[in-house]
Amino acid sequence: MEDWHNVDFVKSWDESASRGNPSRENQLSLLITLLSERCQSGDTILDLGIGSAQVEERLFLKRADVNIVGIDHSSAMLEIARERLRKTTLRNTQCVLYHHELADIDTLGFSHNAFSHVIAVQTLHHLEPETQKQIYGRVFDLVKNNGLFLLMDRVNIDGPKLNSVYAATWNWLENQSAIKSGWSGQYFLERLASQHDYPLSVETTVSWLEEAGFQAACLDLTLNRALYVGIKG
């Protein structure tokens, strides 16, 4: 069970974020490429669920001239983020971290069009579906015209008849992965079934992004992990 408020769990997650998640490296690489090519110097990016700021550490290797506003409800994750950002941020960029619940993002008082781009990596599936949908709407309001919402998240693969195919696909991914989890396909499925979170289907995600006002697409889908983009304007 993931406990983002437990210091030991959080430390171990930070040390092995890609273990059991063979597509994280590829999808992050694409997300950072798209974001860094699109950013202008001085842009401010909102990160929903910034965690330990692993995404920013990579982004700053390509774009050291952007500002970050990060929100997360885990003080343990934010503590690691502060340390990481202290080492990787240049003096003329700003990183502001909010210890805050994403469901209550409205109470932070951000203004309309406040952010150049918004990202959310492996976070929103922790929130109930209706809240995820509301957040898509808030993001549309918060991002500037032509801004991107890059959303990388778990996908609901719920189809018992396909379980043997999903398990075989997991085994194939595990074989190719540089970072081995040691999990069998069967264990991968059991682990998924025991998680108390709310991944959406690709279809639901894209259609809710569109309902929020974005032009949206799924850019990459690997078994139960996807990278989506929404563009405003």
Q: Give me the residue whose beta carbon is nearest to ligand SAM.
A: 51
Positions in 189-228 near ligand SAM (CB under 6 A): none
The alpha carbon of 233 is separated from its chain's Cα centroid by a whole number of angstroms, namely 22
Q: Which of the ranges 47-55, 84-92, 107-115, 157-165 carries the binding residues for ligand SAM, by CB under 6 A?
A: 47-55
Report the residue from 49, 147, 185, 199 that binds ligand SAM according to the rule CB under 6 A.
49
Report the residue from 39, 68, 127, 229 that binds ligand SAM according to the rule CB under 6 A.
127
65 vs 104, beta carbon nearer ligand SAM: 104
The residue among 37, 34, 17 whose CA lies nearest residue 219 is 34
Positions in 77-116 near ligand SAM (CB under 6 A): 77, 101-103
Distance CA 168, CA 200 (A): 22
Alpha-carbon separation of residue 211 from 44, 137, 228 (angstroms): 25, 8, 15
Q: How far is the CB of 158 from ligand SAM (least distance, A)?
A: 20
106 vs 165, beta carbon nearer ligand SAM: 106
89 vs 122, beta carbon nearer ligand SAM: 122
123 binds ligand SAM (CB under 6 A): yes
Residue 118: partners with Cβ closer than 8 Å, 6 or more residues away: 45, 46, 47, 48, 139, 142, 143, 147, 148, 149, 150
Report the residue from 32, 35, 46, 55 that binds ligand SAM according to the rule CB under 6 A.
55
Q: Which of the ranges 51-59, 133-141, 188-196, 216-224 carries the binding residues for ligand SAM, by CB under 6 A?
A: 51-59
Alpha-carbon separation of residue 133 from 19, 91, 110, 157, 216 (angstroms): 29, 36, 18, 19, 14
Report the residue from 22, 60, 68, 73 that binds ligand SAM according to the rule CB under 6 A.
73
Report the residue from 31, 32, 39, 121 that binds ligand SAM according to the rule CB under 6 A.
121
54 vs 181, beta carbon nearer ligand SAM: 54
Q: Which residues bind ligand SAM (CB under 6 A)?
A: 4, 17, 49-51, 54-55, 72-74, 77, 101-103, 121-123, 126-127
